[in-house]
């Protein structure tokens, strides 16, 4: 509720208004995918806030239209701040650019252009052709970060991969006896559950399943129920594993190769698990990761969390597939030559080849250190 006109907020700058639109957009994370999270605010000709809106769920009205419908007073002559370029296509809803023009707004300030083929500048063009003043690129880094997963799925047809691991101060995810419960504290683990609850999939390897018998669900449940995805060349997934026992509550998808027996495939499928047979990667003698990721993209999975051991994560890093890192460091030392590192694979030979984080944020969670950031992909 925007209240009476005297109490209405007035933004001091374009970036302040856009920052508000960005935080509105974030409320849709986990609910809108595979569509982008988008937020919008409208101010009147005096610069007073008169409407707010965001894209709330997949298939629902777009942010701009929600804001227009919520307007507390006349929008004619006002300015729209929107995190993403208004659309110009007839999708599940009519073009927002047309709605903006019809409402008589005089200016539109945009966070970033829509990278999707069906828009890609045409929304901006349509607004300008109607005589509306358009400015693009206010808070663009934040606006781009917000749609990073949407952009990857649109442009590369691949899911955005988040890698998560928890390790000790000496960089170990398990002791030399393979003990790994629990490294990080409760607060770190609750962040992981929040992350899980907005993912389309959680990806792990059969090694982790055999070692830990994980559930890989979000507790409490978030805005979506992620599919638990296991890479399992020979289909060794135990029939009495927690994953299989809960297959009715949250989907399980297993990728195997022709090294799995047909009879085993049928048995596992009979227990409610979906099985996909893909090629083997002759380099690693493992399930071909490109085939897996292509299939997940084909299924419109936008965000996938990797919660695996060092082998799978190492291969994904070697092949430059990871987009974002969530690393939890516990203030403990386990030591031991045989203790296990989070990332194996081939690795890189020199420091200048090392993978680099950008826009990283560090938080302290009751003594654990949480580092998240985007991985720069070459
Ligand atoms: C959204 N929400 O607030 C904006 C979007 O299938 P449709 O009709 O929902 O259209 C989806 C496309 O619309 C999406 O790919 C993006 O390019 C554009 N803008 N989408 O879901 C919004 N502004
Ligand atoms: Zn739209």
**pLDDT tens-digit readout, 335-354:** 999 999 999 999 999 999 99
Is 140 noted as a catalytic residue in this protein? Answer: no
The ipTM (two decimal places) reads 0.91
Catalytic residue among 9, 16, 52, 64: 64
pLDDT of residue 246: 98
pLDDT of residue 3: 57
Is 76's C-beta closer than 6 angstroms to any atom of ligand 1? no
Please list, in sequence order, all residues whose beta carbon lies within 8 angstroms of the beta carbon of residue 190, skipping any fewer than 6 positions away: none
Residues annotated within a binding site for Zn(2+): 62, 87, 96
For residues 304 and 227, give the distance between their C-alpha atoms in angstroms, rounded to a whole number: 9
179: confidence class by pLDDT, cuts 50, 70, 90: confident
- Of all residues in the chain, the percent with pLDDT exceeding 70 is 98
pLDDT tens digits, one per residue of 191-225 = 999 999 999 999 999 999 999 999 999 999 999 99
| Sign of CA pseudo-dihedral 75, 17, 106, 29 | negative
Cα 21 to ligand 2 centroid, rounded to whole Å: 15
Average pLDDT value for the chain:
96
pLDDT tens digits, one per residue of 101-116 = 999 999 999 999 999 9
Instruction: Say what the pTM is.
Output: 0.95
Q: Which residues surround ligand 2, an ion (CB under 5 A)?
A: 62, 87, 96
- Are 268 and 244 a contacting pair, CB within 8 Å? yes
Is 35's C-beta closer than 6 angstroms to any atom of ligand 1? yes
From the CA of 55, which ligand is nearest?
Answer: 1
């Amino acid at each position: 509720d925007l209240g009476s006109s005297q109490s209405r907020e007035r933004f001091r700058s374009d970036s302040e208004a856009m920052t508000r639109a960005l935080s509105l957009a974030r409320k849709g994370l986990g609910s809108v995918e595979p569509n982008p999270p988008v937020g919008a605010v409208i101010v009147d000709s005096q610069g007073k806030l008169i409407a707010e809106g965001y894209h709330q769920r997949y298939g629902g009205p777009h942010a701009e239209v929600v804001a227009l419908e919520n307007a507390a007073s006349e929008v004619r002559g006002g300015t729209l701040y929107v995190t993403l370029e208004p659309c110009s296509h007839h999708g599940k809803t009519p073009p927002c650019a047309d709605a903006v023009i019809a409402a008589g707004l005089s200016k539109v300030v945009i966070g970033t252009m829509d990278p999707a083929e069906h828009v890609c500048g045409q929304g901006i063009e349509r607004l300008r052709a109607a005589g509306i003043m358009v400015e693009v690129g206010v808070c663009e880094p934040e606006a781009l970060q917000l749609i990073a997963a949407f952009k990857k799925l649109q442009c590369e047809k691949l899911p955005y991969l988040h890698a998560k691991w928890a390790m000790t101060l000496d960089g170990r995810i398990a002791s030399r006896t393979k003990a790994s419960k629990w490294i990080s504290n409760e607060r770190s683990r609750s962040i992981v559950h929040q992350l899980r609850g907005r993912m389309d999939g959680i990806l792990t390897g059969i090694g982790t399943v055999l070692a830990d018998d994980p559930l890989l669900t979000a507790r409490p449940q978030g805005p979506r129920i992620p599919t638990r995805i296991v890479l399992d060349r020979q289909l060794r997934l135990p029939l009495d594993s927690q994953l299989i026992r809960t297959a009715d509550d949250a989907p399980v998808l297993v990728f195997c190769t022709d090294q799995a027996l047909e009879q085993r495939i049928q048995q596992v499928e009979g227990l409610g698990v979906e099985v996909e047979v893909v090629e083997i990667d002759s380099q690693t003698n493992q399930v071909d990761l490109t085939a897996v990721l292509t299939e997940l993209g084909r299924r419109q999975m936008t965000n996938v969390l990797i919660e695996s051991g060092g082998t799978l994560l190492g291969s994904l890093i070697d092949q430059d597939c990871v987009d974002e890192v969530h690393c939890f460091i516990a203030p403990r030392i386990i030591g031991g030559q045989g203790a296990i590192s989070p990332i194996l694979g081939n690795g890189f030979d020199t420091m200048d080849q090392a993978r680099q984080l950008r826009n990283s944020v560090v938080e302290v969670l009751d003594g654990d250190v949480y580092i998240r950031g985007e991985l720069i992909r070459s």
